[in-house]
Amino acid sequence: MAARRLKLTLMYDGSDYHGWQVQPQLATIQGTLEAVLGEIEGNPVAVAGSGRTDAGVHALAQVAACTIDNPIPLPNLRKAMNRLLPPDIRVIRIEEAAADFQPRYHAVTKTYEYRIWRLDVCPPFERRYVYHFPYPMDEGAFVSAAAVYEGTHDFSAFASADEKDELGASKVRSIFSSTAERREPLLLFSVRGSGFLKHMVRNLVGGLIEVARGNLTVEDLRALLEPGIARKLGHTAPARGLFLMSVEYPNG
C-alpha cells in the first residue's frame, strides 16, 4: 500500500483540552487525533498542525496533516474519525495533499477572532467562548486603536516566553488586517497575519483593552512595536475568547 499524505481541516472546542500539542497524561487536540487515527490505521500516526493553539483556545478551521497507508476513501475516513472522536472535535474536511505538505511551514496567512462579552450578565451557555468584560471602557478607542497593529513590526512586547527564544528567532511578523467592531452584545477583534507568536493575539487584545481603559495611549501602544523594545505589555486576555478562524495556503 502506498503512503498517503492527507490535509485535515478541523473544528474544536478547546475548553477541556490542554492546548494542541501532545503532553504526557493530559488531554490535547493533537493527542486525541493521533489516538483515533492510530486506531483506524492499526499503527501509530503522527499528526502535525498549522500551529499550537493554547489551552482553552477554540478553532473553526484548524489545519493538520498526517500520513497513512490505509486505502479507505476520504469520505469514509472522515465519518470514521468523527464517530471515534469526542463530540468537541470534528473533522470537517479531508483532502489528498502533496507528500511534503507541512501545515505549519506552508501556511501563508492565519486569521483569528477574539470575542469580548460586554453586557453585565454573561449567559452560562456563552461563558466558555467569550471573555466576560462588563467594566467601563471607551469602545471607540478600542476600535480605532486596532489598526495600530497593521504592517510589519517586531512583536516582542506582545509575545510570551517560549522555549524557542534561546534560538534567537525573529519576532517580526506582518499583520495584513487588524480590525474591531461592536456587534451587540460582543466587542469583536479580528486579526489576519503571516504568523503569530505565543499568546500574541491575546496580548494584542490586552493592549487594546489597556487603551480603552485609559491606561495606555495609542502612542504608547505604537511604541511597543518599536524594534528592540525591552518592555512587555503585561495584559494577556483569557484563552476562552480566542478562535482560530482560518489558515490559508498558496494553492488554496
Which residues are catalytically annotated? 54
**Other Cβ atoms closer than 10 A to 139:** 16
Q: Give which of 202, 176, 178 is closest to 190, Cα–Cα.
A: 178
Q: Residue 185 corresponds to which amino acid?
A: P
Residue 114: which of 174, 29, 200, 28 has the closest Cα? 200
> Which of 13, 12, 238, 16 lies closest to 132, judged by CA?
238
Measured CA to CA, the distance from residue 130 to residue 49 in angstroms comes to 24
Between CA 39 and CA 19 the distance in angstroms is: 22
- The secondary element (H helix, E strand) that includes residue 38 is helix 29-41
